[in-house]
Every structure is written in structure tokens, then in C-alpha cells.
Amino acid sequence: MIFLTALPLFWIMISASRGGHWGAWMPSSISAFEGTCVSIPCRFDFPDELRPAVVHGVWYFNSPYPKNYPPVVFKSRTQVVHESFQGRSRLLGDLGLRNCTLLLSSLSPELGGKYYFRGDLGGYNQYTFSEHSVLDIINTPNIVVPPEVVAGTEVEVSCMVPDNCPELRPELSWLGHEGLGEPSVLGRLREDEGTWVQVSLLHFVPTREANGHRLGCQASFPNTTLQFEGYASLDVKYPPVIVEMNSSVEAIEGSHVSLLCGADSNPPPLLTWMRDGTVLREAVAESLLLELEEVTPAEDGVYACLAENAYGQDNRTVELSVMYAPWKPTVNGTVVAVEGETVSILCSTQSNPDPILTIFKEKQILATVIYESELQLQLPAVSPEDDGEYWCVAENQYGQRATAFNLSVEFAPMLLLESHCAAARDTVQCLCVVKSNPEPSVAFELPSRNVTVNESEREFVYSERSGLVLTSILTLRGQAQAPPRIICTARNLYGAKSLELPFQGAHRLMWAKIGPVGAVVTFAILIAIICYITQTRRKKNVTESPSFSAGDNPPVLFSSDFRISGAPEKYESERRLGSERRLLGLRGEPPELDLSYSHSDLGKRPTKDSYTLTEELAEYAEIRVK
């Protein structure tokens, strides 16, 4: 806004130059609305010594030199003017007072141009002044907007129109100022070069919404139809505001993702996509798209869009959630424990969304949790039954992953019920079934013979392990007589356990004790009994008469009630003695563990000791037959 309070410069110059020099002073430029008038102020001077009786003057258009025959605007001597200025020009000033002010009316665009004044004092005292005034014919008011209008800061917008026509005075009004503020009119102001303007001011605090607003000013002249309007668009500067942004985005692993950020600002902002402080993309634009190809879980997280210009900045974030199947679970915890200890096992994984975690063993669910990434399994006092393979399974709607792990429970040996001995003919086999962890050492003890056989003697002991169960088999051949007591002992670093192995299958054991010779003896006894019964019946039939009563029948003697004293006990003691001798001989010599003696050995005994159970039974059978 121009505020003018000083006197025109050219009047000061005129006052200072009085002293007899040729010179003229007029505004270098002046403007007026088409159809109105304009008064071009003008002062001139000449040397004092000339003292002309009459002073004349001429106004030329666009050229100061008469020889060029420029159009005459006004001529005081003849009143002859160019046709374009007929009826339009007259002199307002008094040339005798050195005032050459010119009035032009009914202005039209062709009258715009340069105007020169020439002083005519008579004779050769004529002078064309180089100073001139440029007339500008306008059709719109001049709206002056500050070079920078910032949102939130009060501004002053002015409407200025020329007021150099003494016949017509303009009136100003604002157009489109609703919501901006109330105008205030300052009135008529004088400019530096002696021209006049009408000024109206509008004060307001602009907002970002006012950017681009079309503000108008109207100049009208009372009692005429003349109206002139001018408009200016407000260029309001304001900081960025992000107006367009994705909400939270969910994407499946491997898919394509587009993140859009748009901001409103003036001037346009610098948009930047960032993640964890790293710039991913930036550009000066109203919107910026970030493309992510085949997203992975590593790209899951918060993305930030930053918009900034010289007037401020704004930022917003968007969360990208990459959905994916659980990773292979990891197991951290105790995998080896001693019986009775507390075991804690942690199974963890990563997925989106969080999975259902389950720990099970042999299809039995032990622990489960929903929508958690960790699962803790607590076994307060582990037992051998807890030993084995476990599975941790993680699953969500995008897939399933599982991890197997083993829990090894260490405990003292336990002898299972399957442990026993069995005899078949001349062979005895003993099974010692042991459950333990770690693997035990197993030994078979024959207390009656003071013999211990362990796993290192592979000729007699065979061992096989299946999981936590160890089966050791002791095989004794040549056992024609009753087998000895056998004790199985299992031992590891947690303790030892012993068990006397029971014999299973009594009928098998009986035949094993009797052996092939015993079978012959038994057969002979049966024949003797049959013969005895037959003979008894015959005698009864011969001697029987009607006078006999039932109570006179002789008693029947069964073979089971008859025993030969001495012979079996003698045989048994000798058999045990011979077996023990052979077992004792085993300790000094490596094995063949044959605990019986052969029939040839029996034949080699003295005649007194060769009285066997078989011979006794045969002799008894012969007596009864006779």
C-alpha cells in the first residue's frame, strides 16, 4: 500500500530551478479508466530575461519534434488539433503562469501513449521539452496483494484506482470478500508525481481454505453506467496436511502392497516414505505411492509418511501387518532329567496372527494355548512314563508347523514282570527284562553254585535293547536235572535292582526234570500198574462166591503209595554234587556251561553208586508183576 503525504517532487524541482532555465515537470506516467477523463498536471519554465508578452504552448502525441508532424493534441495559437483529439482536449492550466496542465476526456484506448509539451514564447523562443507523460488507458482496478500471504497471519489487500478526472470521482467496493473481513476505505490519496488514486483496504487472516480464492474490486462512477471490475486470486501459503493415507493394511506373505500418501500444502510438499528412520522413497508431489513387491514378514511394521515445505510439516503412520504361517517352533528347556525332578519346557514360534500352540505326546494333548507365541510345559515330578518323544505344533489359518523333541528321564533300573525262566528238555532259558535310563549292566547269579554270569560272556548271555527296555537272555544247556535258583541284578548310576527269576510252565518243568530216562521209567510204572490191576481182577473172579460180603474184599495197593527208601535221595545228592563240581570248574576255565553229566559218566561210577532211580523203578515194577 502506498501512502503519500509529501508534496510532489516536481513542484520542489520547479521551485529550486527558478532562475531562467528551460524545463518542464509532469508525471512520467498516469492512468485513467476508458470513457472517463484525465488531467495531466504540467509545469514549465524558461529564462527570465526573455520576458515574453504572450506565452503559447503545444501538446504533441508520441513525438516531440514538429518536423515529424506528430498529432497535435492541443495548440493555444490556432486551436487546430488532430481529429483524434477534437472535442477531447483542453488546457486546464494558465500558460502565463507557466502551468501547462492538459485535460483529456472521453478516453479511448487509442489515446494511450506519450504526451510532449512545447513552449512557444514567440519568434525563435520555442522549446520542446524532453520530459513527457505516458498515459495508460485501463479497464480494471488494480488489486494489490502482498507478495507473501501466509495462512494464520493477518494481511492487507488494497484496491487502487486512478482518480485524476476532476469531472468523475470513482467509488470502490469489494467482491467475494465474504468470510474474509470487512473492508475499510482510506479515500483519495496523492502520489509522488502529483497524481491521485482512490484506495480501499481489506484486512483479514487467511486460512488454507482461502488459497485460490477469487477476490474482486469494483470501481463505479456515480450518475454513469461506467463500472470496472478487477479480480485477484489469493495465493495463500500454508504448511502441509496429510489428507490421504492408507488405514492399517493387512497382506498375506508374498503379495503385492501399495501404500499411498497424499498431502495438501502450498507450495507443494516434499513427500517422504520412511521406515525405522530409513528413507524408502521421496519426491516433491501432492501424492506419493510406495510399492512393495512380494512382502515378507521382515517388512511387517510401521511406515511413516513425512510431508514438509518452507512453512511447516506433517506426518502420519500406517501399520503394515504381513500375515504368515507359523515358523518352525523352537524348544528351549530341559531335555534330560532325573526321575522326580521338575521339568520346564518352553516352545515358541513366530506367526501372524499368533498361533494356537499345542504340546502333545503319543496323540495326548499335554498343554495348549490360543493366540500366543509361547507355551510353557511344566512336569512337576517326572517319571519313566514321561520319557519319550513330544511334539510342539503351531498353527493358524495360514499353515501349520511342528517340531519334535525328546525328553529323556533317567532313573534306576526296574525289573519288569516279563522276567522269568523256562526249561525245555535239557535247556534252561532265563529272561531278565529291565527298564532303565541310562542303560544298565545286567548279571545273572546262581547262588547255589556260586556263579555269576554277566553280559560280557556272550556265549551264555544275549542282550537286546528297545527304547528304555533291555532284555537279557541267559541260556543254560545240558540241564537234565532240576535247574538252580537264578537271580537277575540290574545296575546303573542311580541304583540297582535284583529279582529271583520264577520258572514258568510246571508241566514243562516236570518233563525237563525227568528227562528222557525218566520218561522210560514212568512208562514202565504205568505198565506195572496196569498188569497189577488185571491180575487182581482175575483172582477175584476165581475165588469169589455168594457167601462173601463186600467188606471182605482185600485192600487195593496203589503204586503211588509205594516208595523205595534210600534210592531217590541217594541219586539226588550225587547229581547235585556232580553239577556243583562242574560249575566250580567253570570259574577257572572258560565256558562251556554244561551243568549236567552224561550217561557215560554214570556208567563210570563204582557199582555201589550206580544204583539209579530208573533201575529202582524197574525192579519195583518186576516184583509187582510177579
pLDDT at 459: 81
523 pLDDT more than 80: no
242 pLDDT more than 90: yes
Q: What is the CATH number of domain 23-137?
A: 2.60.40.10
Arithmetic mean of pLDDT, 609-617: 35
From 123-127, 213-217, 580-584, the region with the lowest mean pLDDT: 580-584
- pLDDT above 70 covers a percentage of the chain that reads 78
Which strand (E) or helix (H) includes residue 196? strand 196-204
Taking alpha carbons only, the member of 497, 422, 436 closest to residue 465 is 436
Q: What is the CATH number of domain 330-410?
A: 2.60.40.10
Q: What rounded mean pLDDT belongs to the chain?
A: 80
Q: CA 597 to CA 152: how far, in whole Å?
A: 123
Q: Name the burial class of residue 235, with classes exposed (0-12), middle (13-18) and buried (19+) by CB atoms within 10 angstroms of its CB.
A: middle
Q: CA 186 to CA 199: how far, in whole Å?
A: 6
Arithmetic mean of pLDDT, 416-424: 89
304 pLDDT more than 70: yes
411 pLDDT more than 90: yes
Q: CA 112 to CA 104: how far, in whole Å?
A: 11
Kindly calculate the radius of gyration of the chain based on its CA atoms and give it in whole angstroms: 68
Q: Name the burial class of residue 580, with classes exposed (0-12), middle (13-18) and buried (19+) by CB atoms within 10 angstroms of its CB.
A: middle
Instruction: Tell me the domain boundaries of the chain.
Output: 23-137, 140-234, 241-321, 330-410, 416-504
Arithmetic mean of pLDDT, 590-600: 36
Give the count of beta carbons closer than 10 Å to the beta carbon of residue 25. 22
Band the pLDDT of 248: cuts 50, 70, 90.
Answer: confident
Taking alpha carbons only, the member of 78, 87, 80 closest to residue 111 is 87
Strand 149-150 relative to strand 155-162, pairing: unpaired
pLDDT at 226: 93
CATH of 140-234, one of 3.40.50.1980, 2.60.40.10, 3.30.365.10, 2.40.110.10: 2.60.40.10
Taking alpha carbons only, the member of 558, 472, 575, 583 closest to residue 518 is 575
Strand partners for 399 = 396
297 pLDDT more than 70: yes
CA trace torsion 549, 550, 554, 556 (10° rounding): 170
pLDDT at 606: 37
Residues 6+ positions from 381 with CB-CB distance below 8 Å: 340, 341, 342
As a 3-state breakdown, the chain gives helix, strand, coil percent values, each rounded to 5, of 20, 45, 35
Band the pLDDT of 506: cuts 50, 70, 90.
Answer: very low
Q: How many residues does the chain have?
A: 626
pLDDT in tens, 461-500: 999 998 889 999 998 887 656 667 899 999 999 999 999 9
Output the nine-digit C-alpha cell for 338: 532325573
Band the pLDDT of 502: cuts 50, 70, 90.
Answer: very high
Give the count of beta carbons closer than 10 Å to the beta carbon of residue 106. 12
Question: Cell 524532453 identifies what position?
Answer: 130
pLDDT at 544: 41
Residues 6+ positions from 251 with CB-CB distance below 8 Å: 257, 295, 320, 321, 322, 323
- Residue 614: phi and psi, rounded to 5, are -65, -45
Note whether 230 and 33 are within 8 A (CB). no
pLDDT at 423: 84
pLDDT at 536: 67
Q: What is the CATH number of domain 241-321?
A: 2.60.40.10
- Residue 615: phi and psi, rounded to 5, are -65, -40
pLDDT in tens, 51-76: 888 899 999 999 888 888 899 999 98
Q: CA 606 to CA 245: how far, in whole Å?
A: 117
pLDDT at 416: 93
Q: CA 203 to CA 159: how far, in whole Å?
A: 12
106 pLDDT more than 60: yes
- Residue 491: phi and psi, rounded to 5, are -145, 135
Can 23-137 and 416-504 be said to share one CATH topology? Answer: yes
Band the pLDDT of 604: cuts 50, 70, 90.
Answer: very low
618 pLDDT more than 50: no
Strand 149-150 relative to strand 183-190, pairing: unpaired
Output the nine-digit C-alpha cell for 292: 512393495
pLDDT at 66: 82
581 pLDDT more than 50: no
DSSP state of 458: T
Strand 149-150 relative to strand 236-245, pairing: parallel
Output the nine-digit C-alpha cell for 445: 547269579
Q: CA 169 to CA 36: how far, in whole Å?
A: 10
pLDDT at 49: 84
- More confident of the two residues 561 and 491: 491
Q: CA 310 to CA 610: how far, in whole Å?
A: 129
Q: What is the CATH number of domain 416-504?
A: 2.60.40.10
pLDDT in tens, 321-374: 999 999 999 998 768 999 999 999 999 999 999 999 999 998 899 999 999 999
Output the nine-digit C-alpha cell for 171: 467509488
Strand partners for 40 = 102
- More confident of the two residues 136 and 1: 136
DSSP per-residue codes, 528-571? HHHHHHHHHHHHHHHH--TT--GGGSPPP--GGG---SSHHHHH
pLDDT in tens, 160-206: 999 999 989 999 999 988 877 777 767 778 877 888 999 999 889 99
